[in-house]
């Protein structure tokens, strides 16, 4: 690339966009392409984005049209973009909404074209795999009948056929249950209000906000707008109880209004908070708790951490398309590539706030991200070289060489609320013993987890060693330092969630610090690079240092 003299973007015919990171206009360019382009690779100087159909359709559903996308490419590209790509972008975005799923005026549904000339499109999709068995009689050249029960599965099939339908069939109101926000001493932030407005106007969809930006408050405000019986689905019991506390604080709901449906309790009330785990518990080939979905006339279903939806919940959600559905997440990245199911079954992205924008506005804490590389001892290096791939990663991730680095980082941030986070329980037990710190894993009883989290919030326990049970929906507002020693292979969503543990604004206005301790020249280093991709898309840069820099007087 030619440096600052030219524009920062190169648009290529293979749908990739190359962004020169050091260019003075790089941030403005990133903001212009972010609504429709997905980050693929993020080395030091040139980041690679890709334009995908799903990204274009999500942008279109959010009101971002083809003219804006093409204009962004033309405005920021150093060279003339390939004409074929510009045509492809426009035509792909135009596919969204050419087919509409709507009420037939009675109790049924119909799939119809929006343009008279598009009857050929309808003919095409009716011959696509998996579509014909989901529709009923042909009512007119441009209209086909759709059984209500097939609403969700038909949307999935149409997306796979390349013709995503706009769902205008509306939602049932559900049983009313008035809910009001109690805003004594606080107000909805502008971006939270925009998120709620975007969701309510559409009736279903996903709100993407960074950890610490108040997704639970967005959920509460949406519940107040809908004013109906609500089912909230969460990742674990600790999260369920945090939701309960937040709803009791932020809304007019009382203890009697809120039920918990988990492994410990089975309460169904006007607002019921259930864990994904209990809902998908399988016995003798069936899911006995799934009747929860049909047991009440829900007006709203909230999916917390929607990017984690288990497959059975996707299947159930396909049958719940008449209910308003709100997905909340910090990232729509799914390692199983089922983002399309989120798009069709929960709804398109209705609001997305860039992390660094909220940081600049002071709503989340500024954070530095540092990868600390250590060398493997010779015996472990040899063991990793001859091991099977999954064992190779564990050997590198749990190397004893990381222990002294963790000690040094904890000492460096003595007095700051710190989390040491990892994947492997034996490794965490060793670290907990070395540091004299409590260890929280899936084996820790829920009451003990809650006690330790409360002690951390109160400043009584300044250091916790935690497994992946703390990745999601754990409210630790004062956490300022996170030290990651191992993770779930190359999971980008996990990296984002772990950074999110420390992003709540600090009372002192101070900086948050995120460290990833990585074994050099191993699969651990390769996975670390993959894990960092989502954060790079949000504008975070990892500095890479040698372990000797945190342990003066040593070599690696």
Q: List, for residues 354-366, the tens digit of each pLDDT value.
A: 777 888 888 888 8
554 in a structural domain: no
How far apart CA 508 and CA 501 sit, in angstroms, is 17
Q: What is the pLDDT of residue 385?
A: 78
pLDDT at 555: 46
Of 321, 353, 385, the position where a domain reaches its end is 353
Task: Tell me the CA end-to-end span of the chain in Å, nearest whole number.
Answer: 35
What are the φ/ψ torsions at residue 241 (nearest 5 degrees)?
A: -75, -30
Confirm whether 265 is domain-assigned: yes
Whether 47 and 41 have beta carbons less than 8 Å apart is answered as: yes
Question: Looking at residue 472, what is its pLDDT?
Answer: 63
Same domain? For 419 and 475 the reply is yes
- Alpha-carbon span 427 to 435, nearest angstrom: 12
- C-alpha angle with apex 530: 528 to 536, nearest 5 degrees? 100
Order of strands across the sheet that contains 99-103: 138-140, 143-146, 109-113, 99-103, 166-167
Number of Cβ within 10 Å of residue 381's Cβ equals: 18
Q: What count of other Cβ atoms lies within 10 Å of the Cβ of residue 22?
A: 12
Q: Which residue, 30, 60, 94, sits at the end of a domain?
A: 94
| Residue 253 DSSP code | -
CATH of the domain at 202: 3.40.50.300
Domain shared by 341 and 431, yes or no? no
Judgement on whether residues 120 and 209 belong to the same structural domain of the protein = no
> What is the number of structural domains in the chain?
4
The CA-atom distances, in angstroms, between 405 and each of 375, 402, 485, 549 are 11, 5, 10, 10
Instruction: Tell me how far apart the alpha carbons of residues 267 and 161 are, in angstroms, rounded to a whole number.
Output: 41
Do both 422 and 510 map to the same domain? yes
Position 110 in a domain: yes
**Alpha-carbon span 145 to 131, nearest angstrom:** 12
Residue 175 lies in a domain: no
**What is the pLDDT tens value at each position of the chain, 556 positions in all?**
444 458 999 999 999 999 998 899 998 998 899 889 987 776 668 888 899 999 999 899 888 999 999 999 999 999 999 999 999 999 999 999 999 999 988 878 999 999 888 899 999 999 998 899 999 999 999 999 999 999 999 999 999 999 999 999 989 999 999 999 998 888 999 999 999 999 999 889 999 888 788 899 999 999 999 999 999 999 888 889 989 999 999 999 999 999 999 888 889 999 999 998 888 887 877 777 877 777 789 999 999 988 878 778 888 888 888 899 999 988 776 666 778 888 888 988 888 887 778 888 888 888 888 989 999 888 888 887 788 877 888 888 888 999 999 999 999 999 899 999 998 899 999 999 999 999 999 889 988 988 998 899 888 999 999 988 776 656 676 789 999 998 876 566 777 778 878 888 777 777 889 999 998 888 888 888 877 776 776 677 778 889 888 886 554 4
The answer to whether residues 90 and 104 belong to one domain is no
The model scores a pTM over 0.85: no
CA 430 to each of CA 394, 420, 427, 435, 471: distance values in angstroms, whole numbers, following the listed order: 15, 12, 5, 9, 20
CA angle 537, 532, 93 (to 5 degrees): 35
Q: How many Å apart are CA 306 and CA 321, to the nearest integer? A: 16
Q: Can you tell me whether residue 440 is helix, strand or coil?
A: strand
Q: Are 79 and 66 in a shared domain? A: yes
SS3 track for 327-388: EEECCCCCCCCCHHHHHHHHCCEEEECCHHHHHHCCCCCCEEEEEEEECCCHHHHHHHHHCC
Give me the residues paired with residue 463 across strands: 418
Q: Which structure tokens are listed for 364?
A: 């989340």
Q: Are residues 377 and 511 in the same domain?
A: yes
1-56 per-position pLDDT tens digit: 444 458 999 999 999 999 998 899 998 998 899 889 987 776 668 888 899 999 99
Residues 311 and 396 in one domain: no
Alpha-carbon distance of 121 to 28, in angstroms, equals 38
User: Rounded distance, CA 248 to CA 243, Å?
Assistant: 9
Query: Could you count the other beta carbons within 10 Å of the beta carbon of residue 26?
Result: 18
Helices 492-500 and 523-531 cross at an angle (nearest 10°) of: 70
Residues 255 and 369 in one domain: no
Report d(CA 30, CA 355) in Å as an integer: 13
DSSP letters for 188-217: --HHHHHHHHHHHHHSEEEEE--TTS-HHH
What pLDDT does 1 receive? 47
On whether both 392 and 341 belong to a single domain, the answer is no
Domain range enclosing 508? 359-549
Asked if the structure places residue 128 within a domain, the reply is yes
Do 528 and 383 belong together in one domain? yes
179 found inside a domain: no
Q: In whole angstroms, give the CA distance from residue 482 to residue 233.
A: 27
Give just the sign of the alpha carbon dihedral 496, 304, 340, 206.
negative
Task: Tell me what pLDDT residue 42 has.
Answer: 65
Q: CB–CB of 190/357 below 8 Å? A: no
């Amino acid at each position: 690339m030619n440096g600052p003299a030219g524009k920062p973007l190169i648009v290529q015919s293979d749908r990739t966009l190359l962004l020169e990171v050091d260019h003075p206009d790089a941030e403005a360019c990133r903001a212009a392409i972010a609504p429709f382009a997905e980050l693929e690779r993020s080395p030091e100087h040139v980041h690679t984005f890709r334009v995908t159909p799903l990204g274009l359709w999500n942008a279109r559903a959010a009101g971002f049209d083809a003219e804006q996308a093409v204009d962004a490419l033309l405005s920021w590209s150093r060279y003339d973009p390939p004409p074929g790509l510009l045509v492809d972008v426009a035509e792909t975005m135009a596919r969204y909404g050419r087919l509409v799923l709507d009420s037939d005026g009675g109790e049924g549904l119909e799939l119809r074209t929006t343009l008279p000339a598009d009857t050929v499109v309808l003919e095409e999709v009716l011959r696509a795999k998996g579509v014909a068995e989901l529709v009923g009689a042909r009512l007119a050249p441009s209209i086909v009948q759709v059984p209500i029960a097939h609403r969700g599965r038909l949307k999935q099939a149409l997306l796979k056929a390349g013709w995503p339908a706009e769902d205008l069939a509306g939602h049932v109101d559900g049983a009313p249950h008035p809910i009001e926000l109690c805003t004594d001493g606080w107000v909805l932030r502008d971006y939270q209000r925009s998120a709620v407005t975007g969701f309510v106007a559409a009736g279903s969809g996903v709100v993407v906000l960074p950890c610490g930006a108040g997704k639970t408050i967005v959920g509460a405000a949406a519940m107040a707008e809908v004013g109906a019986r609500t089912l909230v689905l969460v990742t674990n019991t600790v999260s369920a109880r945090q939701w309960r506390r937040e709803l009791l604080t932020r809304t007019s709901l009382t203890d009697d209004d809120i039920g918990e449906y988990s492994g410990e309790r089975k309460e169904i009330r006007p607002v019921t908070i259930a864990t994904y785990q209990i809902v998908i518990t399988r016995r003798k080939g069936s899911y006995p708790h799934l009747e929860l979905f049909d047991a009440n006339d829900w007006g709203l279903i909230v999916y917390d951490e929607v990017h984690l939806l288990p497959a059975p919940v996707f299947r159930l959600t396909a049958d719940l398309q008449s209910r308003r559905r709100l997905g909340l997440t910090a990232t729509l990245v799914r390692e199983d590539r089922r983002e399309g199911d989120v798009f069709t079954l929960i709804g398109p992205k209705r609001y997305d706030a860039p992390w660094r924008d909220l940081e600049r506005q002071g709503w989340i804490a500024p954070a530095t991200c540092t990868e600390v590389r250590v060398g493997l001892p010779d015996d472990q290096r040899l063991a990793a070289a001859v091991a099977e791939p999954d064992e190779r990663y564990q050997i590198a991730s749990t190397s004893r060489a990381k222990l002294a680095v963790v000690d040094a980082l904890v000492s460096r941030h003595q007095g700051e609320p710190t989390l040491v986070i990892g994947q492997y329980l034996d490794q965490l037990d060793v670290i907990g013993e070395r540091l004299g710190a409590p260890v929280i894993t899936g084996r820790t009883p829920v009451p003990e987890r809650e006690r330790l989290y409360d002690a951390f919030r109160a400043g009584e326990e300044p250091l916790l060693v935690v497994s992946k049970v703390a990745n999601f929906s754990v409210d630790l507002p004062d956490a300022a330092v996170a030290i990651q020693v191992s993770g779930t292979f190359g999971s980008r969503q996990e990296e984002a969630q772990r950074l999110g543990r420390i992003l709540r604004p600090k009372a002192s206005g101070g900086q948050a610090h995120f460290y990833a301790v990585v074994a050099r020249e191993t699969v651990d280093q390769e996975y670390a690079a993959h894990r960092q991709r989502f954060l790079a898309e949000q504008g975070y840069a990892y500095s890479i240092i040698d372990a000797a820099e945190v342990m003066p007087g040593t070599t690696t």
